[in-house]
Chain A
Amino acid sequence: MSFFSFGQSAEIDVVLTDAETRKKAEHKTEDGKKDKYFLFYDGETVAGKVNVTLKNPGKRLEHQGIKIEFVGQIELYYDRGNHHEFVSLVKDLARPGELTQSQTFDFEFTHVEKPYESYTGQNVKLRYFLRATVSRRLNDISKEMDIVVHTLSTYPELNSSIKMEVGIEDCLHIEFEYNKSKYHLKDVIVGKIYFLLVRIKIKHMEIDIIKRETTGTGPSVYHENDTIAKYEIMDGAPVRGESIPIRLFLAGYEMTPTMRDINKKFSVRYYLNLVLIDEEERRYFKQQEITLWRKGDVVRKSMSAQATIGAQRFEGSASSESALEKEE
């Protein structure tokens, strides 16, 4: 709001039609705080009202047009100037003219595509928002309202277990197994570690969940690794033939679904890191990517349409896992 306007000024705000009934979801802001925002899914209509309230009733407000936009954009922190908009819809609410009194405008963006999940990370942010603007010659009056989008998937058809024998020849051989390769956010990782040969002095063993955010392309690729969880699964020295069970509940950790090459701008991937530590603090580890997906909470009639759309967008296959082994 300008301090130099001696004429009329106005406040603008956006209210959703279903503000009473629509669920809100918590989402982290860039500075780490948690806030609640209205939750939308792909394909849902975004409708509501824009209220333009004149500050000085009686005076006129001249404007160059009133509009509302629905925007989905990706913002790379190291390149703040360039926002990459992947969804951009506009509705003109009023042609250039005058407002003599406060006014309310209805709007509706029907069945809006929201292909990606909202994400606030270390180097990148993907957000959706409504922006209502009263254009004026000198300075616009505008208001943004952020919403949160979740992408849903259904149980994947193919969900093979991960089973592998790894080691260092004649020193340590283990076989590890995780019951699935794709887990939903409230799932449980069930697995086991079987010791085939132990010639080193192991002190303990843990499983870590690592989130890796990758931004940028070509020569300037940034990886941000974040250890989401460290979970000790064994304390003490195992011998040959021992089997150590794994049971790790994912619901307790703050995680997002796996996001692969979103709009060719960034990825968020998750890895299970099995770490064995010996008496001299040497670490032996095996990292394995897992795919995380978001399961819909309630099965409603409209939800199955979203879930179908979500499942169509769902990426992930056994072939990507073998590609990863080579990468390591």
Chain B
Amino acid sequence: MSDPTVADTRRLNSKPQDLTDAYGPPSNFLEIDVYDPQTVGVGRNRFTTYEVRMRTNLPIFKLKDSVVRRRYSDFEWLKNELERDSKIVVPPLPGKALKRQLPFRGDEGIFEEAFIEERRVGLEQFINRLAGHPLAQNERCLHMFLQDESIDRNYIPGKVRHSPRGETGEVSTARPPNPTPFNCFALSLGPTLPLPQVADIPMLLNNCISVTVNSMYIYTYIICNLCKGKLLGCSHAVHLTCS
């Protein structure tokens, strides 16, 4: 007989896990390598390109293994596109190093080996952090950057839809018979702004924008550019770009 004064803390029943799920490859594999810097061109028209190789099993990416060559200004282009079109806070790029581009330096400037290596590491961190963001994965520009041979700067910006169940990628095991919008998950904007404390986020709901992604709702939090979210429920105008 259970004692009514002591709470029943037995675990809730749960479905046993399928062994292929338990021991199979994880569904979140995404790795991007930025390597093999090559300096092309001569004289003042030189620039450095890097090989960007992505390996993934995420169904949203058309190619599971892709290799392209990109230069620093391509990464800048991607950052600008995302800052303009999406609501996410884009991670920082390694510096532009304008000083290194001035003449009369004692060293190789931006073609200095140590500098290129430092930049390579920064670019790799940048693209890995970005490509893992669920909202960034919906942007056409990211896919073009990672998987198209060259970047068409005259492209038409747009969203990439997750493909319907035709993909061989796995599907959620529980799909409601009449797909209704999920109760939404709130997705924070990313680590570059000071992380709002968990308790702050409900406040920011008053300043948030609901983004429709594939007919599901994601609430994205916009942190006020003026007070950086320090004033809970501030009535400053909401800006969409981070500073």
Taking Cβ atoms with an 8 Å cutoff, the residues of A that contact B are 164-173, 175, 177, 179, 187-188, 190-192, 194, 196-202, 208, 210, 212, 223, 225-227, 230, 237, 239-243, 245, 247, 271, 273, 275, 278-287, 325, 328
Contacts A190-B12, A210-B199, A283-B195 aside, 20 further interface pairs with beta carbons under 8 A come to: A167-B172, A168-B185, A169-B213, A173-B182, A198-B26, A210-B202, A223-B203, A239-B27, A240-B170, A240-B173, A241-B22, A242-B17, A243-B15, A280-B91, A282-B187, A282-B188, A284-B185, A284-B187, A285-B198, A287-B202
Asked if A200 and B28 sit within 8 Å, CB to CB, the answer is yes
Residues of A within 8 A of B162 (CB): 169-170
Bound complex: CA A94 to CA B174 (Å): 75
Q: A223-B232, A241-B21, A282-B191 are in contact. Are A175 and B129 (CB under 8 A)?
A: no
B27-64 to A contact mask, C-beta < 8 Å, 1/0: 11010000000000000000000000000001110000
Residues of A within 8 A of B233 (CB): 223
CB atoms of A166 and B22 under 8 A apart: no
In this complex, the interface size class of chain B, counting residues with CB under 8 Å from chain A, is 35 or more
Contact B28 A201, beta carbon cutoff 8 Å: yes
Q: Which residues of B contact A328 (CB under 8 A)?
A: 183-184, 186, 205, 219
Q: Kindly name the residue among A191, A242, A282 whose own CB sees the greatest number of chain B CB atoms within 10 A.
A: A282
**What is the interface of chain B, defined by CB distance below 8 A to chain A?**
7-12, 14-15, 17-18, 21-22, 24, 26-28, 30, 58-60, 91, 129, 132-134, 137, 162, 170-174, 176, 182-188, 190-191, 195, 197-203, 205, 213-214, 216, 218-219, 232-233
**CB-defined A-B contacts under 8 Å, sample of 24:** A165-B174, A172-B185, A173-B182, A192-B11, A197-B170, A197-B171, A197-B172, A197-B173, A200-B134, A201-B30, A201-B132, A210-B198, A227-B199, A242-B21, A245-B12, A273-B198, A280-B132, A280-B190, A282-B188, A282-B191, A283-B195, A284-B188, A285-B198, A328-B183
How far does the Cβ of A287 sit from chain B's closest Cβ, in whole Å? 6
Instruction: Sort A-B residue pairs by CB-CB distance and give the 4 closest, nearest first.
Output: A243-B14, A241-B17, A225-B199, A241-B21
Given contacts A187-B7, A280-B190, A280-B191, contact A275 B27 (CB under 8 A): no
Contact B195 A164 (CB under 8 A): no
Contact of A325 with B202 in the complex, beta carbons under 8 Å: no
Asked whether A200 and B132 contact (CB < 8 A) given A210-B202, A225-B203, A328-B219, the answer is yes
A175 to chain B, nearest CB (A): 7
Minimum CB–CB distance from B177 to chain A (whole Å) comes to 13
**A280:B8 contact, CB within 8 angstroms:** no
A212 to B170, CA, bound (A): 40
Q: Which residue of A lies closest to B132 (CB)?
A: A280
* Docked-complex contact A281 and B132, CB < 8 angstroms: no
Give chain B residues whose Cβ lies under 8 Å from the Cβ of A247. Answer: 9, 11
Least CB separation from A240: chain B residue: B21
A307 to chain B, nearest CB (A): 15
Whether A171 pairs with B198 at a CB distance below 8 angstroms is: no
> Is B183 in contact with A165, judged by CB distance below 8 angstroms?
yes
A243 to B162, CA, bound (A): 26
Minimum CB–CB distance for A139 against chain B, Å = 43
Give the chain B neighbours of A201 by CB distance below 8 A. 28, 30, 132
Q: How far is the CA of A247 from the CA of B11 in the complex (A)?
A: 8
- Closest beta carbon of chain A to B134's beta carbon, Å: 4
Q: Once the chains are docked, how many angstroms separate the CA of A286 from the CA of B243?
A: 28
State the Cβ distance, B227 to closest chain A Cβ, in Å: 16
Q: Is the CB of B59 within 8 A of A170?
A: yes
Check B213–A168 contact: CB distance below 8 A: yes
Given A173-B172, A190-B8, A196-B174; A239-B129 close (CB under 8 Å)? no
* A190 and B9 contact, Cβ closer than 8 Å, known pairs A210-B202, A282-B188: yes
Nearest chain A residue, comparing its CB with the CB of B133: A282
Among candidates A168, A227, A241, A243, residue contacting B187 with C-beta atoms closer than 8 Å:
A168
- Tell whether, in the assembled complex, residue B202 and residue A198 are in contact, meaning their CB atoms are under 8 Å apart: no
With a CB–CB cut-off of 8 A, which chain A residues contact B21?
Answer: 239-242
Bound: A200/B182 CA distance, A: 18
The distance from the CB of B243 to the nearest CB of chain A, in whole angstroms, is: 19
A residues in contact with B197, CB < 8 Å? 227
Contacts of A271 in B (CB 8 A): 202
CB of B93 to closest CB in A, whole Å = 15
Residues on A with beta carbons closer than 8 Å to the beta carbon of B195: 281, 283
CB distance from B62 to the nearest CB of A (A): 14
